């Protein structure tokens, strides 16, 4: 905008709301008498831009220091503090809609407030804020193993009673119970210095001195055994257990009646239930977005291991889809063929993994698959450079990291944390696996994790290999024969709560979609009275909540009762490749034309239309595989939460393993803690990767991937200087990346990671409702805290170690 126009910005704000009104031209001419025709035209265009409908969500939680509240308008959710909410309401009334003028004015208010606040903050005040936490302290979080909670066989009540413990050496100690159940106790010694007298698994005779005298138990000796000790010093707790079947029945009955009569008063011990719910919240976020594909091997024939089942979600589904041929037949068994699997199973090195490179070739409408591991390429030295150079020039180029884990089929059984007998729903959760499901899983002893680490940086490196075109024909050695297809791998999708309120029916027919100047074609996949799922021929580049018009040319030929053109829908979901849309009919009257048509279509053709169901061929298989995945995955996940200062980690999950790269997260840390500060060394920069990725994911759901290079000096005790991390964009050229790797290896250790950042999916509360209901009954404040935690997970950061592959691509492995 010219200087003259910039001096009259108040005119834009004053007149923009009237653009669509008849008096606009008169008001504009009166206000711009002294303007040139050119500037009047530019002013008019700017006003029209500001009056256009906007679908962008405003989130001020990281922009302002004041608390923000949820404001929902026209189906779009905003987080605004009080001044912004007031301005938003005022401008929406002026514009009669949510427009770009509203959007930009609210953001401008937040920006002015931010500058004013930062301008008045003194350096002393800033130092006080910075001194509260060191640079890395806010990135230190607890690590936990997924689904690593114990099932409680009976309710345990918080109850304090004086007891005397008699040990096998005739010594006696006084203590008080912390909680009690028919089979166990948690105790606190009156004198903590006597803790050394108690040995794990040693017998202990206990007399309940504090029971009421009329109980008849104040002198009765009850035999227990020490299970273990938790905590230290004043916080030390002794855990003891007994077999109630061999104890006096009078004691069993007394304790059962005590708990039944007083558990509302003294409260049930909820530690186990709270830990289980916290665990399940993280597992659900992990299962729905992990980029690693978990494939389960059948080893009934030890010499012929076979990939049999896969646990699939919306992110890792792309790995499975890559191996579909022209007939949509699944061929991932080519990648995970028996010789490769056998080599992994027989490897003496538990850290050993496969690096596989793949591409496809299409000829006469048929898909031909090619793949090779780094070890296989070393056995064909004359073809190695040809394969890498030719394959990396293909659009279909892929690089996979394949890791094998030993598993126990019984890890598929994960009961609830609560004991059986509370209600029927909990009893159902605690049921063992069905015999049919057990028989399907009994030969599953290994899990393969396949992660797609394909990246442009690496692809450019491999393209630098000299391509000898005369040898391209010899790459048939790495081709997979189409006449010997692999065993089909059965996919079990991650299942979320069904959010559709109506039954869906399969309906495949041609459609045309229009949105402003966009005109796309495609087919419908399924329909309901108010909803529609489409598969488009070209990507849909607009955003969620966009309004679209749908036409049905084929269906129009079969009806004259309805005009099936320009039917109004709103976009509710867009998949990762932007080719699949979920739409909801826009209802301005009681029923829209689309809803009237589909109501009649469904009513008249219920015998012909097939309903969409989520039933599994083997009931419970999907959940069983998901449990096995959670308990055995080698994938590290960092859970991110949004605070006023930005995005910060709240927890990590990872199964125990001996990988050397874990030293980066555990350097000078307690055993249960992990420090991810090195991932945020760019946090003070304007283009901090993880922060910008999480912001971008609010608008585009596709996971964002990048590589990070790390130099680590394990001898340096100071965490801040021991680890130097650089994102790929900070090392702009291949020469600078190569120099960084060489320097890191010369001074200490080098590591490289593929980092996937995903947005957290909507929580499935039905999966958690029994634990949540149980906790709410006795401690509603704890339930609310866990519920807030569940909804506050903003996204997940997944780390995949690609150090070997980075060294291989830069030819530093020799």
Read off the pLDDT of residues 775-785 as tens digits, 9 standing for 90 and up: 998 888 899 99
Q: Is residue 776 classed exposed, middle or buried when 0-12, 13-18 and 19+ CB atoms within 10 A define those classes?
A: middle
**Is the model more confident about 812 or about 29?**
812
Output the pLDDT for position 17: 61
pLDDT digits (tens, 9 = 90+) for 388-397: 999 999 999 9
User: Which tokens is 436 given?
Assistant: 């049919």
d(CA 158, CA 162): 14
Q: How many CB atoms lie within 10 A of CB 227?
A: 15
d(CA 629, CA 618): 18
Lowest mean pLDDT segment, chosen from 106-120, 240-254, 256-270: 106-120
User: Which tokens is 22 given?
Assistant: 């008849």
Output the pLDDT for position 21: 61
pLDDT at residue 386 is higher than 60: yes
Element (H, E) at 643: strand 636-643
Taking residues 724-734, report their average pLDDT. Answer: 90
In a 13 Å sphere around the CA of 407, the CA atoms on its Cβ side amount to 35
| 73 band by pLDDT with thresholds 50, 70 and 90 | confident
pLDDT at residue 11 is higher than 60: no
Output the pLDDT for position 214: 80
| 33 band by pLDDT with thresholds 50, 70 and 90 | low
Output the pLDDT for position 130: 43
User: Which tokens is 59 given?
Assistant: 């989130």
**Is the model more confident about 5 or about 760?**
760
Output the pLDDT for position 147: 92
pLDDT at residue 599 is higher than 80: yes
Lowest mean pLDDT segment, chosen from 171-175, 265-269, 334-338, 621-625: 265-269
In this structure, the dihedral spanned by the alpha carbons of residues 785, 786, 791 and 793, taken in order and rounded to 10 degrees, is 100
pLDDT at residue 615 is higher than 60: no
pLDDT at residue 8 is higher than 70: no
Helix intervals (H) in 208-270: 249-266
CB 775 within 8 A of CB 783: yes
**Is the model more confident about 590 or about 233?**
233
Output the pLDDT for position 307: 94
Task: Give the residue from 230, 249, 263, 238 showing the smallest Cα distance to 184.
Answer: 238
Output the pLDDT for position 576: 63
pLDDT at residue 264 is higher than 70: yes
Regarding beta strands 306-312 and 490-493, do their DSSP bridges make them parallel or antiparallel, or are they unpaired? Answer: parallel
Cα angle 29, 33, 35; round to 5: 105
Output the pLDDT for position 391: 95
Give CA separation, 760 vs 104, 132, 289, in Å: 27, 29, 7
- For every residue of 502-539, DSSP letters joined together read S--EE---EEEEEETTEEEEEEEEEE-SSEEEEEESS-
In a 13 Å sphere around the CA of 335, the CA atoms on its Cβ side amount to 30
In a 13 Å sphere around the CA of 487, the CA atoms on its Cβ side amount to 16
Output the pLDDT for position 7: 44
Residue with tokens 């679209």: 548
Output the pLDDT for position 129: 38
E runs forming strands in 394-443: 398-406
Give CA separation, 763 vs 283, 429, 493, in Å: 11, 19, 16
Query: Please, what sign has the CA dihedral across residues 252, 257, 260, 265?
Result: negative
d(CA 680, CA 698): 20
CB 210 within 8 A of CB 222: no
Average per-residue pLDDT for the chain: 85
Give CA separation, 179 vs 259, 263, 422, 776, in Å: 10, 11, 19, 19
With H, G, I as helix, E, B as strand and everything else as coil, classify residue 422: coil
| 150 band by pLDDT with thresholds 50, 70 and 90 | confident
pLDDT digits (tens, 9 = 90+) for 13-32: 565 666 656 666 666 666 66
Output the pLDDT for position 127: 43
d(CA 332, CA 398): 13
pLDDT at residue 614 is higher than 60: no
Q: For the chain, what's the residue count?
A: 814
pLDDT at residue 69 is higher than 50: yes
Output the pLDDT for position 218: 86
pLDDT digits (tens, 9 = 90+) for 567-594: 999 988 887 667 888 898 887 666 788 8
CB 276 within 8 A of CB 416: yes
Output the pLDDT for position 131: 40
Lowest mean pLDDT segment, chosen from 17-26, 415-424, 430-439: 17-26
Give how far the C-alpha of residue 529 lies from the chain's centroid of Cα atoms, to the nearest Å.
Answer: 31
Q: Is residue 664 classed exposed, middle or buried when 0-12, 13-18 and 19+ CB atoms within 10 A define those classes?
A: buried
Task: Give the residue from 658, 656, 676 showing the smallest Cα distance to 799.
Answer: 676
Lowest mean pLDDT segment, chosen from 97-111, 168-182, 489-503, 693-707: 489-503
Q: What percent of the chain has pLDDT over 90?
A: 40
**Burial letters 478-509, b for 16+ CB under 10 A, else e:** bebeeeeebeebbbbebbbeeeeeeebbebee
Task: Give the residue from 334, 284, 340 showing the smallest Cα distance to 313.
Answer: 284
pLDDT at residue 724 is higher than 70: yes
Taking residues 546-552, report their average pLDDT. Answer: 92
Output the pLDDT for position 76: 80
**Is the model more confident about 679 or about 44?**
679
Output the pLDDT for position 526: 87
Lowest mean pLDDT segment, chosen from 3-17, 213-227, 615-629, 651-665: 3-17
Output the pLDDT for position 610: 81
Output the pLDDT for position 121: 43
Output the pLDDT for position 125: 41
Output the pLDDT for position 281: 94
Lowest mean pLDDT segment, chosen from 47-51, 325-329, 458-462, 751-755: 47-51
Output the pLDDT for position 104: 85
Task: Give the residue from 306, 310, 283 showing the smallest Cα distance to 294.
Answer: 310
pLDDT digits (tens, 9 = 90+) for 103-137: 888 888 888 887 776 654 444 444 433 443 455 67
Identify the bridge partners of residue 505 per DSSP, sorted by sequence position: 527, 611
């Amino acid at each position: 905008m010219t200087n003259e126009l910039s001096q009259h910005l108040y005119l834009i704000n004053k007149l923009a709301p009237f653009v669509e009104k008849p008096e606009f031209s008169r008001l504009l001419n009166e206000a711009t008498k002294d303007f040139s025709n050119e500037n009047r035209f530019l002013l008019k265009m700017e006003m029209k831009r500001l009056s256009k409908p906007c679908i962008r969500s405003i989130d001020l939680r990281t922009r302002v220091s004041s608390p923000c509240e949820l404001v929902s308008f026209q189906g779009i959710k905003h987080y605004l503090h009080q001044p912004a909410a007031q301005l938003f309401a005022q401008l929406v009334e002026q514009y009669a809609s949510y427009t770009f003028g509203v959007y930009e004015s609210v953001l401008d208010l937040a920006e002015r407030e931010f500058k004013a606040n930062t301008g008045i903050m003194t350096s002393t005040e800033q130092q006080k804020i910075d001194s509260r936490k060191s640079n890395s302290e806010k990135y230190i979080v607890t690590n936990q193993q997924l689904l690593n909670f114990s099932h409680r066989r009976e309710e345990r009540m918080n109850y304090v009673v004086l007891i005397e413990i008699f040990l096998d050496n005739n010594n006696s100690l006084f203590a008080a119970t912390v909680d009690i159940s028919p089979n166990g106790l948690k105790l606190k010694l009156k004198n903590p210095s006597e803790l050394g007298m108690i040995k794990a698994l040693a017998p202990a005779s206990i007399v309940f001195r504090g029971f009421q005298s009329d109980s008849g138990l104040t002198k009765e000796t009850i035999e227990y055994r020490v299970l273990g000790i938790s905590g230290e010093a004043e916080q030390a707790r002794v855990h003891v257990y007994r077999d109630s079947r061999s104890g006096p029945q009078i004691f069993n009955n007394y304790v059962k009646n005590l708990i039944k009569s007083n558990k509302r008063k003294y409260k049930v011990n909820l530690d186990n239930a709270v830990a289980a719910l916290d665990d399940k919240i993280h597992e659900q976020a992990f299962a729905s977005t992990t980029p690693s594909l978990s494939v389960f091997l059948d080893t009934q024939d030890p010499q012929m291991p076979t990939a049999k089942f896969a646990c699939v979600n919306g992110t890792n589904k792309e790995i499975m889809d890559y191996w579909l041929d022209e007939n949509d037949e699944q061929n991932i068994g080519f990648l995970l063929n028996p010789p490769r699997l056998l080599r992994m199973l027989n490897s003496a090195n538990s850290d050993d993994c496969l690096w596989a490179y793949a591409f496809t070739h299409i000829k006469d409408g048929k898909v031909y698959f090619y793949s090779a591991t780094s070890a296989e390429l070393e056995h064909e030295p004359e073809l190695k450079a040809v394969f890498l150079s030719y394959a990396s020039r293909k659009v279909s180029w892929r690089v996979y990291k394949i890791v094998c884990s030993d598993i126990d089929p019984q890890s598929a059984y994960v009961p609830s944390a609560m004991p059986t007998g509370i209600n029927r729903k909990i009893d159902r959760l605690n049921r063992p696996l069905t015999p049919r499901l057990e028989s399907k899983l009994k030969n599953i002893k290994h899990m393969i994790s396949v992660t797609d680490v394909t990246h442009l940086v690496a692809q450019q490196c491999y393209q630098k290999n000299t391509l000898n075109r005369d040898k391209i024909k010899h790459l048939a050695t790495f081709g997979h024969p189409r006449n010997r297809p692999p065993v089909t791998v059965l996919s079990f999708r991650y299942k979320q709560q069904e959010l559709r309120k109506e039954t869906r029916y399969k309906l495949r027919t041609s459609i045309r979609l229009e949105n402003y100047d966009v005109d796309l074609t495609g087919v419908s996949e399924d329909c309901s009275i108010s909803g529609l799922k489409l598969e488009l021929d070209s990507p849909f580049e607009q955003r969620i909540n966009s309004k679209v018009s749908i036409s049905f040319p084929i269906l129009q030929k079969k009806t004259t009762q309805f005009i099936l053109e320009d039917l109004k829908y709103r976009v509710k979901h867009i998949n990762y490749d932007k080719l699949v849309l979920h739409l909801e009919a826009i209802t301005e009257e009681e029923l829209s034309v689309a809803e009237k048509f589909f109501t009649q279509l469904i009513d008249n053709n219920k015998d012909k239309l097939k309903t969409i169901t989520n039933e599994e061929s083997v009931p419970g298989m999907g959940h069983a595989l998901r449990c096995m995945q959670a308990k055995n995955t080698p994938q590290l996940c960092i859970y991110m939460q949004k605070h006023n200062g930005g995005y910060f980690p709240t927890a990590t999950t990872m199964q125990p393993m001996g990988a050397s790269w874990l030293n980066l997260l555990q350097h000078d840390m307690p055993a249960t803690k992990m420090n991810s500060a090195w991932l945020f060394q760019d946090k003070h920069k304007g283009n901090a990767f993880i922060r910008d990725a999480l912001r971008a994911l609010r608008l585009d759901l596709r996971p964002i991937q990048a590589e990070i290079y790390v130099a680590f000096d394990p001898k340096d005790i100071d965490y801040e200087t021991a680890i130097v991390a650089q994102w790929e964009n900070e090392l702009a050229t291949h020469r600078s990346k190569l120099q960084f790797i060489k320097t890191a290896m010369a001074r200490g250790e080098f590591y490289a990671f593929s980092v996937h950042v995903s947005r957290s999916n909507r929580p499935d509360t039905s999966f958690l409702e029994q634990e949540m209901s149980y906790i709410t009954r006795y401690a509603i404040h704890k339930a609310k805290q866990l519920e807030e935690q569940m909804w506050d997970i903003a996204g997940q950061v997944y780390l995949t170690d690609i150090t070997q592959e980075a060294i291989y691509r830069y030819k530093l492995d020799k």
